[in-house]
Amino acid sequence: MNKNYALYLFKRWKPGWLFYAVMYVMIPAACILLDGSNYYLNQGEAVRDSLHTAFAVSAGIAIVSCFILPVFMFSYLHRKRSEDLFLCLPISRAQQIRTEFFIMYAAVMGGFIASALVSLLCGIFTYPGLIHAAGQMAALTAHMALFTGVMLLFNSLLYMTANNILDGVVMLGAYTLLPFIMQFVVKVFLQDVTVGSAQFYSSTFFERWLSPLYLGTANANILIDPDMIGISDINAWSWISEAVLLAYGILAFILNQRQLVRRKAERAEQLSDSPLAYPFVIHIMLFLGLLLISSSYHQEGFTASFIFILVMLCLYAAGSFIYRRRIIIRPRLFIIFAILCLLTGALSEIGWKTKGFGLIYPVNLSADSNVEINYDAYMSKKDLGDASAPDEYVSVYFDAVMTYDQWQNNKDFQDIFNRHMEESITALYQEKTAYFSSSALAIYNTSTVADGSTRMTNYHRYPLPEDHMLTLDELMTVSQFTKVNVATDDGENTYTLQAYLQKEGK
């Protein structure tokens, strides 16, 4: 690091640094001073929750700063005039880059420590019993020291994959969002080509392991508010996440040697045509878009899918024009588009022909949680024994809750469920019903989490075609274990199955 260069950078943007520091400290502290007087439970609970909010705001500002500061600090490398000026300074390129990283890291972590410390002192002053939160702050600070360092290295790398400021911002945003977009597309794709196997598209694989932002934020949430453990996708502190985060930091550090230290000055204000810039982003987005369209072909039909494919072609062409800064149509564009169409279409068709790549079996349930079976169907009165009113419908539903052992020992109920599960799967792949049919049979685990709410896991849903609803005899069997409800078409009256049959004289 070069001390004179560091002082120069500080003096050059002194008003901005001072405003940043004041904002960083005052906003989190205000969470304590303004909210700490709201004793909705008791003073300790109120101030503790306010302190959690202050820590969250401090961490949030630090994370946002990790996106803003690389753009702010390295923009000179994207402008020819400023690049020539800065690279002529009497210091080595390596020293220059190290100094700039030191300034960014000191600004982020210095601001975070100051704001978290001020918030903690305000909390202790308001309610002395919060002295134990000092340990919480120390653990959070240690995590943020790693997290922000990795994010600064990683975001600087993403920003410098481009050759001008606008493209750099686009690359930074695109790569940040890409893991979340991939997760969404994979979820929808598997949802469209499978039935009943929600556990395969309810994970956070891409978000968790391909996004340093997600890795660091998940662990930070636990340190900010330990009550979050066990709620949603957060189970506990993950040392594996910290190790992967560190690996991302090491990789970004190595790659930054090329993107920053050994960067050619001639790249400034040129097209961002490096392999990891626009070419990769445009084509991976095109692939994901076409995969989404191909997966819905069997439900949407040819016409709708063809229209969406034309839209994707237009977007692909527009992206290529923007990237190259000129409108030019080349055969290569159509060849790549056709290849990706065939590839995604083949993946979708394989998934359909193999019944969801074989992922739909078996029904996976946890032995540590309750089992809930839900049936909700719009049934003809004819199916309930009233042949005189075949065109009149009623809503039949039940929610059976039992322990895992009770479910395993309930062979009659299992036989009914398994038969309709098989019929649902067969009907879907023969395109006799849609995944989002209003009539469905579902099974899943339920458990109570830390905040007292009910958490649903291992969700399996099987849409039912009209000719494969539960029969009256099957409903009578189910009614031995749980209450079966029948609601009239107008929704004004609801009966138990036995009461409804008695009313109808059956």
The domain limits of the chain are 3-163+204-266, 278-358, 370-503
Average pLDDT, the chain: 84
Bridge partners for 447 per DSSP: 455
Q: Choose between 245 and 236: higher pLDDT.
A: 245
Could you give the strand order of the β-sheet that contains 454-463, starting from the edge strand earlier in sequence? 454-463, 440-448, 370-380, 393-402, 485-487, 494-496
pLDDT digits (tens, 9 = 90+) for 371-413: 999 999 988 777 775 555 556 788 899 999 999 999 999 999 9
**pLDDT above 70 covers what percent of the chain?**
87
pLDDT digits (tens, 9 = 90+) for 410-469: 999 999 999 998 888 888 887 665 555 678 899 988 887 666 677 888 888 888 887 788
Structural tokens at position 385: 């024994």
Q: Choose between 405 and 232: higher pLDDT.
A: 405
Three-point CA angle 171, 172, 176, nearest 5°: 110
Could you give the residue ranges of the DSSP H alpha helices within 228-330?
239-256, 278-295, 297-300, 302-324
> Is the model's pLDDT at 114 over the cut of 50?
yes
Q: Are strands 485-487 and 393-402 parallel, antiparallel or unpaired?
A: antiparallel
pLDDT digits (tens, 9 = 90+) for 193-225: 877 665 555 566 777 788 999 999 988 988 887
Instruction: Give the separation between CA 200 and CA 416, rounded to whole angstroms.
Output: 24
Q: What is the CA radius of gyration of the chain?
A: 29
CB 149 within 8 A of CB 249: yes
Q: Choose between 280 and 80: higher pLDDT.
A: 280
* Residues 50-74, mean pLDDT to the nearest whole number: 90
Highest-confidence range of 83-92, 108-117, 227-236, by mean pLDDT?
Answer: 108-117
Q: Is 461 helix (H, G, I), strand (E, B) or coil?
A: strand
- pLDDT confidence band for 479 (50 / 70 / 90): very high
* pTM to 2 decimal places: 0.83
pLDDT of residue 39: 43
